[in-house]
Amino acid sequence: MQSVYLRNAWYLAAWANELKPGEPFARTLLDEPVMMYRTGDGTPVALEDRCCHRSLPLSLGKIEGDRIRCGYHGLLFDAAGKCVQVPGQSLVPPGSGVRRYPAVERWRAIWLWMGEAAAADPALIPNLYWLDHPQWGAGTGQMQIKCGYQLIVDNVLDLTHLSYVHPRTFGTLAIAESPARYERVGDQVRITRWILDSKPPGVMARNRAMDGNIDRRQLITFLPPSVVTIEGWFGPTVPNRDERAEPEGGFGICNINALTPVSATETLHLFAEAQSYAPRDDAATDKLFREVYDTFLEDIEVLQAQQRALLERPNRPMIDINADAGGLEARRIMARLTAADTQRTAA
C-alpha cells in the first residue's frame, strides 16, 4: 500500500545517540530505505540504502573515514553519495552514485529532508528546545508501530483518550469532561485545555508527591508534517483563573512526538519526555520517561487494532465528535500542504 507523503519537509529520523561513530545505521522513511552514518568529525550523513552496483544495502558496508564502502564488491562512496572508487579498475563509471538526503543534527536528533535537496532549509526544523535546555531534563526513546502516522497524530491531538486508555498514569475523568479551545496558527494547530481544581493524575502524584487538588493545563501543538508537542503545566488552584494568561509557579512537563512514516501502515514513533521540576536529576527524568514509555505501550494496542480494522473494512463510515476537531484540522492542513508539494514536485 503506497501513500502520498509530504516530501519537502524535515523528518526526525533518529535520536542523535542512536547514530554511533563508525557504525552504519539503517532506517526506512516514507517507503525509502535510508542509511546514516557520521563522518570523522561527527557530521551526520544520510544516503539511499542501496548500492548503485547490485543493490546491496550500503548499511551492510564499512565506514572508512568520511566514506562508506559497499560490503559486496567494495565500491566506495563519499558523503555526497558519489561513487569515488571501483576496486580493480581505474575509471569510475561517470555519474555513478546514490541519492544523498540533507541531514542536520539539532535538538539531540537527526533530521532528514526527504524532498528536493535545494529546498532544505534548516530554519524549518521544528523548535524542540526542551531537549537541549538547562532548565529541562529530557529522556528519549522510540517504538515502531504498525499503523499509519495519521492515526498517532489523531491519538496525541485528542487527549480525552487519557481518561479511558491511561487512567493509571496521565488520565483522570476530568480531562474528557473539560472543554478544549482549538486554534489554527499558520500551518499549526494549537489545542488548549484547562482542567481546574481537580485531583492530580497518578503520574504526578507519584513523581511529585502532589496531594490535594491542582489546576492543570494541556497545550498541544501540531507542527506539520508529523511533530506533536504536548506541554503540561501543573500548579496550585487559583479561583477565577484567567485561562488566557500564562500560569505562574507550578512546573511543566513536555511530551514530544515525532511520527515519522515508515510506510502507509507503519510508523516510527520517536518520543521524548522533558520535565522542569528537577532538570539535573537524571534519575527523576528516567523515572518519568519510563512511565511515559509504559503509557505509550497502552496506545500501541489500540492503534494497531484500529489500523487492522481499517484495513479489513476500509469503506465503513465513521462519525466525528467534538474532540476530533484538532485531528480534523491537522488532516486538512496536511491535505493542502501535500497537494501543493505533489504539484510542485511534478512541475
Which residues form the interface with ligand FES (CB under 6 A)? 51, 53-54, 56, 70, 72-75
Among Fe ion, ligand FES, none, the one that 299 touches (CB under a kind-dependent 5 to 8 A) is Fe ion
Q: Which is nearer to Fe ion, 110 or 162 (CB)?
A: 162
- Within 8 A by CB and 6+ apart from 62, the residues are 24, 68, 69, 71
Q: How far is the CB of 29 from ligand FES (least distance, A)?
A: 22
CB nearest Fe ion: which residue?
299
Distance between CA 267 and CA 153 in Å, rounded? Answer: 11
Q: How far is the CB of 214 from Fe ion (least distance, A)?
A: 21
Measure CA 58 to chain center: 25
Q: Please check whether residue 102 is in contact with residue 120, taking contact to mean a CB–CB distance below 8 angstroms.
A: yes
Q: How far is the CB of 21 from Fe ion (least distance, A)?
A: 35
Cβ burial of 316 (10 Å; 0-12, 13-18, 19+) is: exposed
Among Fe ion, ligand FES, none, the one that 73 touches (CB under a kind-dependent 5 to 8 A) is ligand FES
Distance between CA 265 and CA 179 in Å, rounded? Answer: 31
Distance between CA 217 and CA 199 in Å, rounded? Answer: 13
Q: How far is the CB of 57 from ligand FES (least distance, A)?
A: 9
Mask of contacts with Fe ion, 297-316, x by CB under 5 A? --x-----------------
Q: Which is nearer to ligand FES, 73 or 336 (CB)?
A: 73
E-strand spans in 136-265? 137-145, 180-185, 188-198, 214-223, 227-235, 251-263
Cell of 103: 541531514
What Rg do the C-alpha atoms of the chain give, in angstroms?
22
Q: How far is the CB of 250 from Fe ion (least distance, A)?
A: 23
Q: Which is nearer to Fe ion, 4 or 173 (CB)?
A: 173
Among Fe ion, ligand FES, none, the one that 336 touches (CB under a kind-dependent 5 to 8 A) is none
Q: Which is nearer to Fe ion, 56 or 325 (CB)?
A: 325
Among ligand FES, Fe ion, none, the one that 56 touches (CB under a kind-dependent 5 to 8 A) is ligand FES
Residues lying near Fe ion in the complex (CB under 5 A):
299
